[in-house]
A and B are shown apart, each in its own frame.
Chain A
Amino acid sequence: MLTFLRRRVVSSAIPLVFVVLGVFCLARLTGNPVNLYLPLSATPEQRAEFAAAHGFDQPIVTQLADYLTSLLVLDFGESLRTGQPAAEMVLAAFPATLQLAGVTMLIAIAGAVLLGCAAAYRPNSLADRVASILSMTAASIPDFWFAIMGVLVFGVTLEWLPTSGVSGGPEVWILPIATLLIRPFGVLVQVVRGAMVTALAAPYTKVARSKGASEKRVVFGHALRNAAMPALTVAGDLTIGLVNGAVVVETIFGWPGIGKLMIDSILQRDFAVLQAAVLITALTIFALNILIDVCYALLDSRVRQTVPA
């Protein structure tokens, strides 16, 4: 298992280098921060002084070299806007996103397993049809439309829920989570149902029944363990997709997470914060991928053996 982990970490490090280089170069294509931060009336001397103070007068290769050297000692630079260390700002915003994504995925997985199993247990039954229509709809609704309609109906018209922000009771979670939830939930129900239909029709399910196993044991002890693997792959992918969803949801609902921080730092040419946010998000995604692979290997011994040397 340790060899398995080490291999995965090493193979993840290479794409990470490309992420760092890519973000550094792309950020600088968004425009010159000097023009944004100084008034139009600023003199050329003032502009030069501002650029020199933040290192923007150096050739881009030198800037990159400086950035990479400081990265080695975990120095992510300071925010242009607030002067705070960029890493500090990102880490402060991170828990809000993690909480949102974590709660969303837990609800999505639990709900999808229950609904997917119920649907697969009796294919073409009423439960199956309802699950099918529900999940198809959920998987097809665009999240930004759902968010805006949610705000309009429950926030503005009915005034049941707050339209944005995190101050208040548990009700502030409802719309952001519902918005993030619909797509992963819809997709997962379909995946779990499909995998469970296959698993329940498999010969080993029949053999389990021939041993006198209860239906609970057959469904959860035998079939679901096999169905868990495709579901896990898709769930991992969807979790990563939640980072994209978080940008939309956090912007619409004013959720102070990493998605909102990214958008704000792009709009304000706050390169250090943007770079730190993307790098830390990328690291999280790599960690998540490794976690998924580990779960996969734990679930199925065949995976452990087929990892290339």
Chain B
Amino acid sequence: MTPTTAPPARQPEPGAPPPALRVEGLTVDLTTPTGELRAVDGVGFSVHKGRTLALLGESGCGKSMTAQAVVGLLDPVARVTGGTAHVNGTEVLGLSRSQRARLAGPVLSIVFQDALTAMNPVRTVGAQLAEPFRIHRGLSRRAARERAVELMDGVGIPEPRARARSYPHQFSGGMRQRLLIAMAVALEPDVLIADEPTTALDVTVQAQVMELLADLQARQGMALVLITHDLAVVAEHADEVAVMYAGHVVETGPVTEVFTHPRHPYTRGLLDSVPERAAKGRPLHAVPGSPPELGSIPTGCVFQSRCPLAADVCAAERPRPRPTGPSRAAACHRSEELASD
């Protein structure tokens, strides 16, 4: 069986149940030689069963760290210092390591970004794909191996039975990313976080991997958090988007609305930088400057130094996310001015 091109379900469900994943006020601090730094500050978003939320932002904005904090796999230098994350209504950030381990796989799963190093080089891929079944279902080595072969078949690996005895370095980058995804969805998690699943891949393979994710989502009905810096991926595959900048969520809402009528100057800057949208013969727009260093984030709005609309209030007071429409919000003092554009 090979993945089909079935699009993910995009219709909002009537009488919406609680979100599969709801993150509120998530704060992550880093311990560095120069002191404590805040990498993620008060991040919140939520995603429902069968829906896709894109966490969009440039490198270093804290999106990967947000993901790792939610799944409880932060590096030792980083730790969660505030906020909550509810998975199916259960708070997970305060759970012990062994309690989290029980959720890791059947409830909450993650696909890491670097498929080249994310698989253990000295174990066969069959053994690695069988591991979720060994750990959580207590299957025998042989039965788990059978399930691993089925998984490989399900993500479109040719000759899965023979290939299960191969090692990761014997697969191409795209195939390895498929294997990683297969491993993450083995136990049909309720929430899947995909951290830049297509970064290291070329464009055609990227499209195949995204199709695979969409197909799996359609089959298993999981909530998908798609972490990316790729506006095209967001436009094509996500239902909602949360735009991150310097550790903060600056704008959230349905992708179609946010992308057609951005209510945060950073979102608008990003969208204006897309070549397809620019007018022919005019220089391509770019957001001036670069994001602030973690150690020197200003007291007011985090985007003020690069913002064309910056005013006195922006330097004085950090804007809180305010509703800018049905199921939309933006953290900007001047979002109304963007609305009238």
- Chain A residues engaging chain B, CB cutoff 8 angstroms: 201-204, 206-215, 217, 222, 225-226, 229, 299-302
Distance of A215 Cα from B101 Cα, bound (Å): 10
Chain B hits for A202, CB < 8 A: 117
Nearest 10 interchain pairs by C-beta: A212-B104, A204-B120, A212-B101, A203-B117, A212-B105, A301-B167, A203-B118, A207-B118, A225-B122, A210-B110
Distance of A222 Cα from B131 Cα, bound (Å): 11
* A120 shortest CB reach to chain B, Å: 12
Distance of A207 Cα from B131 Cα, bound (Å): 11
Interface centre among A201, A206, A217, A300, by most chain B C-beta atoms within 10 angstroms, is A206
Distance of A299 Cα from B123 Cα, bound (Å): 9
- Chain B residues engaging chain A, CB cutoff 8 angstroms: 71, 73, 75, 97-98, 101-106, 109-110, 112, 114, 117-123, 131-132, 135-136, 167, 169-170, 180, 183-184
* Residues A204 and B121 in contact, CB atoms below 8 Å apart: yes
Chain A hits for B101, CB < 8 A: 209, 212-214
Chain A hits for B97, CB < 8 A: 215
* Residues B117 and A204 in contact, CB atoms below 8 Å apart: yes
Interface centre among B75, B119, B122, by most chain A C-beta atoms within 10 angstroms, is B122
* B97 shortest CB reach to chain A, Å: 8
* B112 shortest CB reach to chain A, Å: 6
* Residues B119 and A207 in contact, CB atoms below 8 Å apart: yes
* A295 shortest CB reach to chain B, Å: 12
Main secondary structure of the interface of A (DSSP, over half): helix
Distance of A209 Cα from B75 Cα, bound (Å): 12
Evaluate whether A222 and B120 lie within 8 angstroms (CB atoms) in the complex, with A211-B105, A211-B131, A212-B102 already known. yes
* Residues A206 and B112 in contact, CB atoms below 8 Å apart: yes
Residue of B nearest to A228 (CB): B122
Residue of B nearest to A227 (CB): B122
From A201, A214, A226, contact of B120 by CB (8 A): A226
Chain A hits for B122, CB < 8 A: 225-226, 229, 299-301
Chain B hits for A208, CB < 8 A: 120, 131
* Residues A225 and B112 in contact, CB atoms below 8 Å apart: no
Pick 5 A–B contacts, CB within 8 A, sort by A. Answer: A217-B135, A226-B121, A299-B122, A301-B122, A302-B121
Evaluate whether A211 and B120 lie within 8 angstroms (CB atoms) in the complex, with A203-B114, A301-B167 already known. no
Distance of A302 Cα from B180 Cα, bound (Å): 20
Inter-chain contact total with CB atoms closer than 8 Å: 75
From B71, B119, B167, B170, contact of A210 by CB (8 A): B71
Chain B hits for A225, CB < 8 A: 120, 122-123
Distance of A149 Cα from B172 Cα, bound (Å): 59
* Residues B120 and A210 in contact, CB atoms below 8 Å apart: no
Evaluate whether A210 and B136 lie within 8 angstroms (CB atoms) in the complex, with A225-B120, A302-B121 already known. no
* Residues B117 and A209 in contact, CB atoms below 8 Å apart: no
Chain A hits for B135, CB < 8 A: 211-214, 217
* Residues A209 and B119 in contact, CB atoms below 8 Å apart: no
Chain B hits for A222, CB < 8 A: 120, 123
Chain B hits for A204, CB < 8 A: 117-121
Distance of A229 Cα from B131 Cα, bound (Å): 22
Distance of A201 Cα from B120 Cα, bound (Å): 12
Distance of A214 Cα from B112 Cα, bound (Å): 19
Distance of A58 Cα from B110 Cα, bound (Å): 79
Q: A202-B117, A215-B97, A226-B121 are in contact. List 14 more A-B contacts (CB 8 A).
A: A201-B75, A203-B118, A207-B118, A210-B71, A212-B105, A212-B136, A213-B131, A213-B135, A214-B98, A214-B101, A226-B120, A301-B169, A301-B170, A302-B121
Residue of B nearest to A226 (CB): B122
* B81 shortest CB reach to chain A, Å: 21
Chain B hits for A211, CB < 8 A: 104-105, 131-132, 135, 183
Distance of A229 Cα from B106 Cα, bound (Å): 33
Evaluate whether A302 and B167 lie within 8 angstroms (CB atoms) in the complex, with A203-B114, A203-B118, A226-B121 already known. yes
Chain B hits for A215, CB < 8 A: 97
Evaluate whether A209 and B123 lie within 8 angstroms (CB atoms) in the complex, with A203-B114, A302-B169 already known. no
* Residues B112 and A203 in contact, CB atoms below 8 Å apart: yes
* B118 shortest CB reach to chain A, Å: 5
Chain A hits for B104, CB < 8 A: 209-212
Chain B hits for A212, CB < 8 A: 101-106, 132, 135-136
* B136 shortest CB reach to chain A, Å: 6
Chain B hits for A214, CB < 8 A: 98, 101, 135
Distance of A213 Cα from B132 Cα, bound (Å): 8
Distance of A204 Cα from B110 Cα, bound (Å): 13
Chain B hits for A302, CB < 8 A: 121, 167, 169
Distance of A201 Cα from B170 Cα, bound (Å): 23
